[in-house]
Amino acid sequence: MTNEEAMQLALKLAMKGSGYVNPNPRVGAVLLRDGKIISTGWHKKFGAPHAEREAIKNAEIEDFSDTTLLVNLEPCSHQGKTPPCTELIIEKKIKKVIIGMLDPNPEVNGKGVQALRDAGIEVITDVCKNECQWLNRFFTKHIRTGSPYIILKVAQSLNGCIASSTGKSKWITGQESRKKVHQLRSEVDAVIIGKRTASFDDPKLTVRAVEGRNPIRVIFDTELSLPLSLTNFIDSERTKTVVCCKKELEHTRKAETLRVAGIKVVPCETNRNGFIEVGDAISNLTKIYNLSVIMVEGGAKIFSSFLESNLVDELQLFTAPIIIGNGINAFGNLTTDSLEEAKQFSLVYATKTGKDFYIILRKIEKDYYSNF
């Protein structure tokens, strides 16, 4: 097995921690001897042992002196909720360590590699670096800025509509795209929708098409006007439902009724249009839930507000091969009139999900992913 092949396996193992480890990174480790796998491990849950410890524990061997440990993130050298991985690697006398990327956590960044080298261990870095950085882009932004990584997920028609003029939008894209969306939900800490999407579609916003844990569901309902019969207010996951409303409504009967039902009400500032100030909502939510990644699922008003606030890190765009005449444009509420003002993105990935196009883009202004 080559280093690259083993790193691909480590990345796959790391993915298994999606959602469960947040805001920690997703990490997988492979222990090799003569290019053959001895054991594997991954970081399973926030606060649980790190990937390297899992792989070493699973090895069931006494002598590690001719083994190579491969891991997608630099082994930690600090005492966190768990002891430093570098200490265990040194104690076990592992011969060689192969790393995908340095840990962007300032407490570790480069110190893990140094500790290993100081102990005479051979260290190779940057194997499949781009893929490793991509996998932990949420962690990287959060540990560096304290703010969550924000993804806009848009399911649209060929002509950029997310709903017909009557507001119906539930089934624009196909089953495979929806499966991908469920996968994304399992990776993020929270999903956000607006009042219109909540009342027209009444979506469950849970993870069903794949295995994984459900995110928190946030609904922006400035005036608290949504009916109490909404699925997100009555289903078994309702304690994971959060409503952001204008701060004047914090102590009203409607807010109290929601709270009694187990729903969290988060009062927020409003902007000059009387709509929730997205920056304030995100910082309030982050204070309560320490969010490292959020996915915004619509509709047009919310998409536009997030773009206008320059809060978007990534677009996940699902385009169905249909045309909806006179529909609701995904970004129709944006007030960028000239090309100079246009929001710019760079293409990361493009493929098909079933009959739909699937495109991932990210903002180009600030590069959180390099130089670590």
Among 26, 50, 92, 264, binds Zn ion (CB under 5 A): 50
- Burial classification of residue 282, based on how many CB atoms lie within 10 Å of its CB (0-12 exposed, 13-18 middle, 19 or more buried): buried
Cα atoms in the Cβ-side hemisphere of radius 13 Å centred on 30: 25
112 vs 267, beta carbon nearer Zn ion: 112
Distance (Å, whole) CA 59 – CA 51: 12
Stretch touching Zn ion by CB under 5 A, among 47-55, 102-110, 227-235, 352-360: 47-55
Closest separation in Å from C-beta 283 to ligand AOF? 21
Q: Does 317 bind ligand AOF (CB under 6 A)?
A: no
- b/e map of 153-162 (b: 16 or more CB within 10 Å)? bbbbbeebbb
Element (H, E) at 264: strand 264-268
Kindly write out the interface string for residues 52-91 of this chain, putting x where it contacts Zn ion by CB under 5 A and - elsewhere.
Answer: ------------------------x--------x------
Count of residues near Zn ion by CB under 5 A: 3
Q: Does 141 bind ligand AOF (CB under 6 A)?
A: no
Structure tokens at 180: 């991908």
50 vs 196, beta carbon nearer ligand AOF: 50
35 vs 80, beta carbon nearer ligand AOF: 80
> Among ligand AOF, Zn ion, none, what does residue 215 contact (CB within 5–8 Å per kind)?
none
Report whether 255 contacts 277 (CB < 8 A).
Answer: no
Pairing of strands 96-101, 216-220: unpaired
Q: Does 178 bind Zn ion (CB under 5 A)?
A: no
Helix axes 278-289, 300-308, angle to 10 degrees: 90
Give yes or no: 250 in active site.
no
Report whether 261 contacts 233 (CB < 8 A).
Answer: yes
Please pick, among 52, 54, 277, 297, the residue that the annotation labels catalytic.
52
80 vs 262, beta carbon nearer ligand AOF: 80
39 vs 286, beta carbon nearer Zn ion: 39
Kindly write out the interface string for residues 77-96 of this chain, putting x where it contacts ligand AOF by CB under 6 A and - elsewhere.
Answer: ---xxx--x-----------
> Among ligand AOF, Zn ion, none, what does residue 80 contact (CB within 5–8 Å per kind)?
ligand AOF
Distance (Å, whole) CA 242 – CA 220: 9
> Would you give the DSSP letter of residue 316?
E
Report whether 151 contacts 296 (CB < 8 A).
Answer: yes
Element (H, E) at 176: helix 175-187
Q: Does 51 bind ligand AOF (CB under 6 A)?
A: yes
CA 32 to chain CA mean position, Å = 30
105 vs 286, beta carbon nearer ligand AOF: 105
Q: Does 280 bind ligand AOF (CB under 6 A)?
A: no
Kindly write out the interface string for residues 143-182 of this chain, putting x where it contacts ligand AOF by CB under 6 A and - elsewhere.
Answer: x---------------------------------------
Which stretches does DSSP call E strand in 158-262?
161-163, 190-194, 216-220, 241-246
Structure tokens at 184: 């994304």
Residues near ligand AOF, by CB under 6 A: 24-25, 27, 43, 50-52, 73, 75-76, 80-82, 85, 103, 105, 108, 143
Catalytic residues: 52
List interacting residues with Zn ion (CB under 5 A): 50, 76, 85
